Chains A and B, each alone.
Chain A
Amino acid sequence: MSIIVYVSTKGGDVLKSSLEAVSYAAQTAETSNQEVVAISVGKVNSMDELGKYGANRLIQVQSSSISSFQPNLIAKAIHEIVKMEGSNLCILSHDLNGKAIAPILSVEMNAGMVTGAVGLPDNSDGFMVRKGVFSGKAFANIKILSENKIVTVMPNSIEKKEFKNTTNVEDVDIELGTPRITVIDQKIASTDVPLPEAEKVVSAGRGLKGPENWQMVEDLAKELGAATACSRPVADMDWRPHHEHVGQTGVAIRPNLYIAIGISGAIQHLAGVNQSKVIVVINTDKEAPFFKSADYGIVGDAFEVVPKLVEAVKRLNA
């Protein structure tokens, strides 16, 4: 038997979120002695990474009809491979691509699904998966009752494990029909790490007083190798682009390190960041609610504190 895992690519490189899904599949396969079969639509540049994350094989689906992101057709392609392999478990990332494809696949496969898993399946009594619910305020253990199953993996939530697999490649041609969506424009963010995949994030809020003061935030992010983010008022006032807005209505993230500068920590903001592993809060107001959720705090003026932090990280990097 095999476990199927879908991988998204950008310019032929497998996305980090997808590699995590491969790792999830590989760690699940280990306990049940199964093979991990990755599926990509189009060519993947290098097999080394896939092997290291635990894929045994890669099936590259070639189809003339998928030259843009077509969730309906990709789901169909995955289902064809699932049938060919006789598999009953499919793993995807709970990234934006996985969120588009997985629900369609669930209907195709007639599979029960848990999305946003934060732990490996527990097979001790059926098939149970843990996921975050209530926007990070609790966890639920959910059993999949159907024979076919789909799990999507929350980015940056699974411990990685190194495998030494060699990934064999096969090309498969599948006729999938005509796409019903015509993509007319694509705006892919520059080479920077996209915010939802970033392991470190430096974020700032209204406390910075104006968009002209963001240089020190960018400097700190650059020195740490972090992505930048902001609170909702900052995006609403157009101080920063909307795609940087983290929180309940913006992007939900769970980096290893989240540094919040001049953000008070409204509950809507916390809902988007409360699953970060380490939270640092810098605020002039010692009563700011964010300190209750913080691991480390500095009560002080960002304009004095942040430049000193930039210098300290520079010295560390030197």
Chain B
Amino acid sequence: MKILVCISKVPDTTAKIAFKDNNTSYDTNGVQFIINPYDEWYALVRALEIKESQGGSVTVINVGGAENDPTIRKALAIGADDAVRVNTLASDALNTAQNIADYAKKEGFDMVFCGKETIDYNGSQVGGMIAALMDMPYISYASKMNIVESKATIERDIQGGKEVLEVEVPFVLSAAKGMAEARIPNMRGIMAARTKPLNVIEPSNTDYMTEIVGYELPPAKGECRFVDAENPEELIELLRNEAKII
């Protein structure tokens, strides 16, 4: 199986969120970046497991500038065979998807894996767009997947439950919790990653359909109001008469 895994670079989960330039851009000062957890833990690791049991290759693709290279190298250290970076700003989902789909069409992949969403822009967009652009079936929020020859059996989350389905390659999926367990790169992987190919290609698409105008931080949370543990009934009173929520 020839598998393409889309990876996004995101601020670490614990990173401080602040903005600069009059709240028009994210302040990366002092921020540590990671591979988007859903892309890494679920999509990439499951792709590697399939390659290890059935052969084939795993390519990772990222859209972004050269500052993303260390993050991409981490995916190579975990075990991807090679990497591609589309050298353009990833600020609009359709633009990003078009660039990935154009590359994927040219190279031909049996499966394209994405994470269910990124933890920075929380879009859940790129996977489905790639599928539509390549005219492939899209399976979102996959929590389990197995493949025998060309037929995959996948469990996906739908509103209010789960479904098990069968689909023939090629297809695109977005990976959610349950697909695989996180892997930590070992020393050999880290050494090997230095010499694995990381090809930089220029964008095939330069249209942007959306534009981020600015950011806002949520209003500061008021002080927590403490209720005496000896008298927890007061909490119910407050929820009814003050918060008016029950």
| A residues with CB within 8 A of B | 8, 10, 15, 17, 68-69, 71-72, 75, 94-97, 99-104, 106-108, 111-116, 128, 131-146, 180-189, 194, 196-197, 200, 224, 242-243, 245, 248-250, 256-257, 267-268, 271, 277-278, 280-281, 291-301, 304-305, 308-309, 311-313, 316
Picked from A8, A104, A140, the residue with its CB within 8 Å of the CB of B159 is A8
B194 to chain A, nearest CB (A): 30
Interface range for B: 35 or more
Q: Does B30 contact A (CB under 8 A)?
A: no
| B residues with CB within 8 A of A | 11, 13-14, 17, 19, 37-38, 41, 92-94, 97, 116-117, 119-129, 131-133, 137-141, 153, 157-168, 171, 177-178, 208-218, 221-222, 224-229, 232-233, 235-240, 243, 245-246
Do B227 and A296 touch across chains, with their CB atoms under 8 A apart? Answer: yes
Residues of chain B within 8 A (CB-CB) of A145 are: 208-211
- By beta carbon, the residue of chain A nearest B176 is A249
Residues of chain A within 8 A (CB-CB) of B236 are: 309, 312-313, 316
Most central of B94, B162, B235 by chain A CB within 10 Å: B235
Cα A291 to Cα B13 in complex, Å, equals 20
Picked from A10, A249, A297, the residue with its CB within 8 Å of the CB of B227 is A297
Say yes or no: A115-B125 contact (C-beta < 8 A), given A75-B132, A140-B212.
Answer: yes
Picked from A115, A137, A185, A291, the residue with its CB within 8 Å of the CB of B123 is A115
User: Can you list 20 A-B pairs, Cβ within 8 angstroms, ordered by A?
Assistant: A68-B163, A99-B141, A100-B138, A104-B138, A106-B128, A107-B97, A107-B129, A107-B133, A137-B218, A140-B213, A140-B214, A143-B212, A143-B213, A181-B165, A186-B162, A196-B159, A249-B37, A278-B239, A296-B225, A313-B236
Cα A308 to Cα B236 in complex, Å, equals 10
Residues of chain A within 8 A (CB-CB) of B138 are: 71-72, 100, 103-104
Residues of chain B within 8 A (CB-CB) of A243 are: 162
B7 to chain A, nearest CB (A): 17
Picked from B117, B211, B229, the residue with its CB within 8 Å of the CB of A142 is B211
Picked from B129, B153, B167, B177, the residue with its CB within 8 Å of the CB of A249 is B177
Cα A181 to Cα B216 in complex, Å, equals 41
Cα A132 to Cα B120 in complex, Å, equals 9
A17 to chain B, nearest CB (A): 7
Do B215 and A139 touch across chains, with their CB atoms under 8 A apart? Answer: yes
Residues of chain B within 8 A (CB-CB) of A107 are: 94, 97, 129, 132-133
Most central of B41, B124, B238 by chain A CB within 10 Å: B124
Residues of chain A within 8 A (CB-CB) of B163 are: 68-69, 183, 185-187
Picked from B127, B161, B165, B246, the residue with its CB within 8 Å of the CB of A182 is B165
- Rank and list the top 3 A-B pairs by shortest CB-CB distance, nearest first: A300-B229, A103-B128, A112-B209
